[in-house]
Chain A
Amino acid sequence: MATGTTKQIIHGVFGDEQPMIAACKKLRSSGIRIKEVYTPFPVHGIDGIIGVPRTRLAICAFLYGITGTGLATLMMWYMMIHDWPNDIGGKPTWAYYFAIPAFIPITFESTVFCAAHGMALTYLLRCWLVPGAKAKNPDPRSTDDKFLVYLELNDEQAKKAEGILKEHSVEEVNHKGTIHIPAPY
């Protein structure tokens, strides 16, 4: 019975994004999986190289937005048409389509409100950015001016990866112990 594998944790620390991108490309083409990259700012193009799938947050925002549109319509229909129809200033509210121009602004605001807050909340929860959460970057310098390539590799791959990192003027290669990855059931 297999009990899983033990992998080495390696931090490749770069002082600039260019060599880091080059190193990541080389690592990937050599068949080495890059677990994560930590950078002080968004490095464009890195997602495709290390294989981060495109985020679907924008789809969420759209769904939250149409929810907002629906909620506002339902609310105004219930309050103005269904529950207590009124004739205000010669503008009767006997049917929703009669008075629709007056309902547009709030429909719009509600759409934006739900889309923006829904998306922001989803973003924070998806990244688990919540009050009291522990810092997720393994090296504190990666929010300042260092670019960190985080690898979890077996011994053979680790040796190869270290060679590639050094070819690309890595500043430090830090071994951060091992991690035990249990075998799948």
Chain B
Amino acid sequence: MHAESEIREPLILGTKTYRQITDDIIAPIEGKASKGWYVLLTIFGLTFLWGIGCLAYTIGVGIGAWGSNNSADWAWDITNFVWWIGIGHAGTLISAVLLLFRQKWRMGINRSAEAMTIFAVMCAAIFVTLHTGRPWLDYMLFPLPNQFGSLWPNFNSPLLWDVFAVSTYFTVSLVFWYIGLVPDFGMIRDRVIKPWQKKMYSFLSLGWGGSARHWSRFEETSLVLAGLSTPLVFSVHSIVSMDFATSILPGWHTTIFPPYFVSGAVFSGFAMVLTLMLVVRKIYKLEAYITVKHIEYMNIVIIVTGSIVGVAYLTELFMAWYSGVEWEQYAFLNRATGPLAWSYWCMMTCNVLSPQLFWIKKIRTSILATFILSIVVNIGMWFERFVIIVPTLLRTFVPSSWNTYTPSFIDIGIFIGTIGMFGTFFLLFSRFFPVIAQAELKTILKQSGESQKKAAANHKHDHITAH
């Protein structure tokens, strides 16, 4: 068996056995939900309903209900879209990129991170669907033969690339997630007693057997899907950034956008994973599987991606000056000193300064500090997208078309509604689905379990003293 260094910290704490892992993961499914779960579900469910109301109103009267105007024709809609899509990136990164790099710590968090990805992309989809103005005609985004003449969508346009990228990303993430879930559903099916649960999990597990042939195919499929998802993650946010970068608008027309957007996406995604994980480990008592070490690893990813984002902001400023293009220079001056300067400085503080606190070990291993900073980072990343979109659009080439922007009641309602939807779906997921990939976790128990590591170390020392 592959042994692991003694000095590497364990990823599963306490004296766990295979049976205990099963018991711990199935506990939220077999047991009754806590009061806190119902309280949270009510809050999120109500905000979700509120969002549906605002959404229905928008469909009824049109997007004139939003704060968007002739200058800021993209505003909260696209800000929220990019924000949610970005959050989605962490899930695929954790499950695909970290799988390729054989990072074992992903196993405690990959399942929930993937679920988060799927729900986040669903939230993002709401905004792209609505922002076209007539969502019932959205099928025209796809290259379907239509009865309005044989004009096809424009394949030169990044907006069309986005349709393909986001739909591929969503469906592939969904399939990847489900294929990983099947063995765990199999375990639940074999454990639960209540007839309705037995029926439900039998259906969901698709008849999983766990034979050597199943596992060999399972592992091959996971590996190839990870290999395919890795460039997919990078492509999706690159393409999202090209929605901006291929325009001629000062402040958008920059080649740095694809890498800058991707690192920003991973940055905000990890922050959201942390926010959720810190709650999940607490309410489902999974502290043994999502340890402080896991939190520290994620915080390190946040420092790295946060610093890349910081460098990208500074590079943008430098390039605006160095290009000698006045419009470009003004776009950045306007962001930093114009009427919406507060949002720019909010972004700078939250995204560039706050993650640097994680250089201090005490802070990056503190649960409370991590929780607060993870929310700060997500606020910052929301403002990043807002700053890129709104102040830039408000002051373009012709000063006579300059404008101001205030979001409407409906804008805010839909955004809050998506948070409610995200929360509702995540709560339902964590109650009925295995929140940790238990089959995968069992493979690392002998190498990375605390008691197993200690036993192995003692065993080795015994050998040394015996000689």
Contacts and interface: CB of A to CB of B under 8 A. Distances in A.
Contact of A58 (B19, B220, B443): B220
Given A109-B161, A117-B172, A143-B183, A42 B190 contact: no
Interface in A127-167: 127-137, 140-145
Interface stretch (B63-71, B115-123, B203-211, B390-398): B203-211
A116 B225 contact: yes
Interface string A20-56: 0000000000000000111111111011001010110
Interface stretch (B149-157, B309-317, B331-339): B149-157
Interface string B206-241: 111111111111111101110011011001000100
A144 B191 contact: yes
Interface size class on chain B is 35 or more
A127 B190 contact: no
A53 B214 CA distance: 12
Interface in A81-121: 83-84, 86, 88-89, 91, 93, 99, 102-103, 105-106, 108-110, 112-113, 115-117, 119-120
A117 B442 contact: no
Interface string B136-155: 00000001000000111111
Nearest to B242: A105
A124 to B, nearest CB: 7
A134 B442 contact: no
A129 B208 contact: yes
A79 B155 contact: yes
Given A57-B221, A133-B206, A106 B161 contact: yes
Contact of B151 (A84, A99, A145): A84
Contacts of B214: 127, 136
Contact of A42 (B172, B215, B228): B215
Contact of A145 (B19, B179, B231, B242): B19
Given A123-B217, A135-B202, A145-B17, A39 B212 contact: yes
Contacts of A180: none
B171 interface: yes
A75 interface: yes
A131 B217 CA distance: 18
A119 B225 contact: yes
A73 to B, nearest CB: 11
Nearest to B186: A143
B393 to A, nearest CB: 20
A128 B187 contact: no
A149 to B, nearest CB: 10
Contacts of A105: 158, 161, 164-165, 235, 239, 242
A67 B146 CA distance: 25
Nearest to A16: B18
B151 to A, nearest CB: 6
A92 to B, nearest CB: 10
Identify which of A109, A131, A135 gathers the most chain B CB atoms within 10 Å of its CB. Answer: A109
A111 B120 CA distance: 24
B164 A109 contact: yes
Interface in B1-45: 1, 17-19, 22
Interface in B225-266: 225, 228-229, 231-232, 235, 239, 242
Contacts of A170: none
Interface residues of A, number: 66
A168 B425 CA distance: 47
Contact of B190 (A88, A110, A135): A135
Given A58-B224, A108-B231, A112-B232, A43 B215 contact: yes
A53 to B, nearest CB: 9
A88 B159 CA distance: 14
Interface string B171-191: 110011001001100110111
A108 B235 contact: yes
B73 interface: no
A131 B203 contact: yes
B190 A144 contact: yes
Contacts of B22: 40, 144-145
Contact of B172 (A83, A116, A137): A116
A9 interface: no
A76 interface: yes
B182 A39 contact: no
A141 B210 CA distance: 11
A120 B190 contact: no
B440 interface: yes
Residue of B171, B186, B209, B225 most packed against chain A (CB within 10 A): B209
A85 B221 CA distance: 40
A54 B223 CA distance: 14
Contacts of A132: 203, 207
Given A55-B220, A123-B218, A36 B187 contact: no
A38 B231 CA distance: 34
Nearest to B161: A105
Give 6 closest A-B pairs by Cβ, nearest first.
A136-B209, A133-B207, A145-B18, A140-B190, A129-B206, A79-B152
Interface of A: 18, 36-44, 46-47, 50, 52, 54-55, 57-58, 61, 65, 75-76, 79-80, 83-84, 86, 88-89, 91, 93, 99, 102-103, 105-106, 108-110, 112-113, 115-117, 119-120, 123-124, 126-137, 140-145
Given A57-B217, A105-B158, A135-B207, 12 more contacts: A36-B212, A40-B442, A47-B212, A55-B216, A55-B217, A83-B150, A105-B235, A109-B232, A112-B168, A127-B209, A143-B189, A144-B191
24 contacts: A36-B213, A37-B212, A39-B212, A39-B215, A41-B439, A41-B440, A52-B213, A55-B216, A80-B152, A88-B157, A91-B156, A99-B156, A105-B164, A106-B155, A109-B235, A112-B228, A112-B232, A115-B228, A116-B225, A116-B229, A120-B179, A135-B205, A142-B210, A144-B190
